[in-house]
Structure 1
Amino acid sequence: SVVAREMARNAPNDEVREDAELMIGQAARCREILQRLTEMPEATDAVHERMSLVQLVHDVIEPHMVHGIRVEAVVNGPAGETAPDVWRRPEIIHAMTSIVENAVDFARGEVIVIARFDARYIVIEARDDGPGFSPEVLAKLGEPYVTTRPGAEGSRTGHIGMGLGFFIAKTLLERTGATVDFRNGRRGGAVVSARWPRPALEAPGYTGA
């Protein structure tokens, strides 16, 4: 942030100044994200520490139900099995919400968040029906300072960035034990998925009163 401000102050032309100002804005966004995560209250009891997998995906999509795009959550698992409870992890909710925000930005009309579980893994996947990732972006996605937006055009949420959102989301998810994958769907659109070994995310059965 300090270096970017110095660059903006001494920019030799408008293009460099705009780049520096964008860096300043993204550094501020990163600071806000980290501040929100550190301010989230610590769980105080076993009931609050856990949530259903269904509740998790609904919490992820809830902020994005107001942009004129159909946003739906689906939970799938083996026939006859109930979806597991999972630990309430603010960093997972934030990261997946950020990924869904990006999907809403580029979707033509629909975003689907799918949670799948089996005996070994829990997977949460966001799919949109937009244009998908371009090859050059797909090769670098998840690194900071990569963007698919030259400006605010086409962004429903008003978000402009250089890839810090994806970088932070990927880092947060990986720190919880997830493997993160970015790809284009076979029928088009972008697909972002996070896969955890089931023991890393599942909350064991609660036996309290």
Structure 2
Amino acid sequence: MEAGPISLLFGIESRLLRIETLTRLRWLALFGQLTTVLGVAFGFGFQLPLRWCLAVIGASVALNVIVELFFRKHLRIDDRMGTLLLSFDVIQLSFLLFFVGGLDNPFSILLLAPVTIASVSLRSYQIVAIVGLVALSASLLSVFHWPLPWYSEQSFLLPQLYRFGLWAALLVAAAFIGAYAAQVAQEARSLNLALTAAELALERQNHLSRLDGLAAAAAHELGTPLATIALVSRELSRAKLPDDFHDDVELLNEQAQRCRVILGRLSSLASEEHPQLDNLKLSYWIETLVSPFRKNPVSIEIRRSNSENEPVIASNPALTYGIGNFIENGVDFARNKVIIGCYWTKESITISISDDGPGFPNEILMQIGEPYLKTKSNRRLKTGSVSGLGLGIFIAKTLLERTGAELSFSNNSGSGAIIEVTWDRKRLELNT
């Protein structure tokens, strides 16, 4: 019941940007750059190298036109192309700032925009490359640049210490935004992919639950043509046919009767007492989940409350997957024994799964339930599992919480893990 890496199911990484997104952002930036340059030159009447500024802006316009002509709008660009495009944006803005005052220009803060985009769409080492390029550009612009456009009768010169502060602030902001935005984006992607995996697991369980009903419906639909075949075969057996055909007609009758027996069994699935469809007492339902693991060398003991009025629940897909996943993990990691407890009162229902295995690693015990959780410890971590401990437990925890469950994870005083799942009794029986 352990889910595989969800990215393999879709064949595309969710973090990749569409090229149209970058193109639109660049058009927006170019509009802002052109408006600002023209406003400074003609609105304020400041002297600035207008031709050089327009040439730098024109280079970015040319790139956007080329991209729109030769690339599909909905193309998702790979990391290498994304790095190149964002590097171009850093260099283009750096050249523009060079002609209009360098870091003295308040618009130098826009160097952080490519860092932000890179943080949510590129890999770690590529984010570091973009941050490094911004740091290099800011360092050069703090020393080499043309004067800031200003009133001709006044001189504008920032103190060297203040200029150093601007440079340091820009570098710290670039590093912080790069690390913070990358971490937040990665957590959001992991959560989104894990929720998708949970939906797929629930849909698969729903599909399995519907198979019996579909089989009964198919048997009902096939009943009429089978009756016609049986009637025709009986008439043929009574007719005067050459001896060569008697054996074939007899075989046809036998196979028609056999088909009738098979369809009768399929039809009975909708009406027979079936553990996946009928309401069951809690301890009986747990036994249906445990039965596939009875042949395992690990012994499984089911303990139940001594009180009467045992709750009756229906085996819905979320409950089946969630509790089944915990039982499977307990059997996988136990040394000799797994104990499953079914306890109830008038107010609550509790299912506990404990084993005598290595238990949960202490360093991740408080983080259990987060998707794609990894640990260097080999405890509670299946060999060769890409997703590690986190995804399977996350799916089970998410599905069970949808039924109103509260979960707790802990370790035995000696060894082994304990998982407790508790419901409000009225809510669980109402949900089922």
- TM-score range (shorter-chain normalised) is 0.7 to 0.9
CA contact (8 A) 2:202 2:318 kept: no
Which secondary structure does the structure 2 equivalent of 1:126 belong to? Answer: strand
Equivalent in 53, 66, 69 of residue 298 of structure 2:
69
Structure 1 unaligned residues grouped into runs of 5+: 12-22, 204-209
Residues 202 and 30 (structure 1), Cα distance of their counterparts in 2 relative to 1, 3 Å cut:
closer
Counterpart CA distance in 2 for 1:38 and 1:87 is 13
* Higher alpha-carbon deviation: 65-74 or 33-42: 33-42
Of residues 197, 207, 210, the one that matches 1:41 is 210
Alignment partners' CA distance in 1, 2:373 and 2:317: 25
Amino acid at match of 1:128: D
Which blocks of at least 5 consecutive residues in structure 2 are unaligned?
Answer: 1-6, 17-78, 81-122, 124-189, 214-269
Structure 2 CA distance for partners of 1:29 and 1:65, relative to 1, 3 Å:
farther
Structure 1 partner of 2:280: 51
8 Å CA contact 1:149, 1:161 repeated in 2? no
> Equivalents in 1 of 2:15, 2:377: separation in Å?
21
Structure 2 length normalisation: TM-score? 0.38
Match of 1:184 in 2: 411
Specify the alignment match of 2:55 in structure 1.
Answer: none
Matched, 1:87 2:314: yes
Task: Report the residue type matching 1:35 in the other structure.
Answer: E
What SS does structure 2 have at the residue aligned with 1:3? coil
Q: SS state of the match for residue 196, structure 1?
A: strand
Q: 1: CA distance between counterparts of 2:345 and 2:310? A: 9
Higher RCO structure, 1 or 2 (CA under 8 Å, sep 6+): 1
Aligned CA-pair RMSD:
3.5
SS of 1:145's equivalent in the other structure is coil
Name the CA distance, whole Å, in 2 between partners of 1:92 and 1:100: 12
The reply on whether 1:3 has 2:230 as its aligned counterpart is: no
Task: Using the TM superposition, give the Cα deviation of residue 193 of structure 1 relative to its aligned residue in structure 2, in angstroms.
Answer: 0.9
Relative distance call for 1:107 and 1:202 in structure 2 (3 A) is same
CA distance in structure 1 between the partners assigned to 2:429 and 2:199 by the alignment: 30
Check the 8 A contact 2:298/2:337 in 1, yes or no. Answer: yes
Q: 1:123 aligns with which of 331, 337, 350?
A: 350
Amino acid at match of 2:423: W
Task: Give the drift of 1:149.
Answer: 7.7
SS of the residue 2:410 aligns to: strand
- CA drift of 1:148 comes to 5.2
**Deviation at residue 64 of structure 1 after TM alignment:** 2.1
Structure showing greater Rg: 2
Residue 106 of structure 1: aligned partner: 333
Identity of aligned residues (%): 32
Structure 1 ranges of 4+ moved more than 6 A: 26-29, 42-45
CA shift, 1:114, in A, is 0.7
Partner of 1:198: 425
Query: What's the offset of the Cα at 1:175?
Result: 0.5
Alpha-carbon separation, structure 2, partners of 1:160 and 1:63: 25
Aligned partner of residue 202 in structure 1, secondary structure:
helix
Structure with greater proportional strand content: 1
- Measure the CA separation in 2 of the matches of 1:107 and 1:183: 15
Deviation per CA, 1:72-104: give whole Å up to 9, x if none. Answer: 2222142xx142211322211110110111111
* Aligned-partner Cα distance in 2 for 1:168–1:118: 27
Q: In the superposition, relative to structure 1, how do residues 121 and 30 fare at CA in structure 2: closer, same or farther (>3 Å)?
A: closer
Aligned-partner residue type, residue 41 of structure 1: R
Structure 1 distance, partners of 2:376, 2:338, is 19
Cα displacement string for residues 34-71 of structure 1 (whole angstroms, at most 9, x for unaligned residues): 331231229889x8451111122112222222331112
Correspondence for 2:4: none
TM-score, structure 1 normalization:
0.73
Q: Comparing both structures, which one devotes a greater share of its residues to helix? A: 2
Cα distance change on mapping 1:65 and 1:150 into 2, 3 Å: farther
Question: Per the alignment, in what secondary structure is the counterpart of residue 292 of structure 2?
Answer: helix
Q: Is the 8 A contact 2:337 2:356 kept in 1?
A: yes
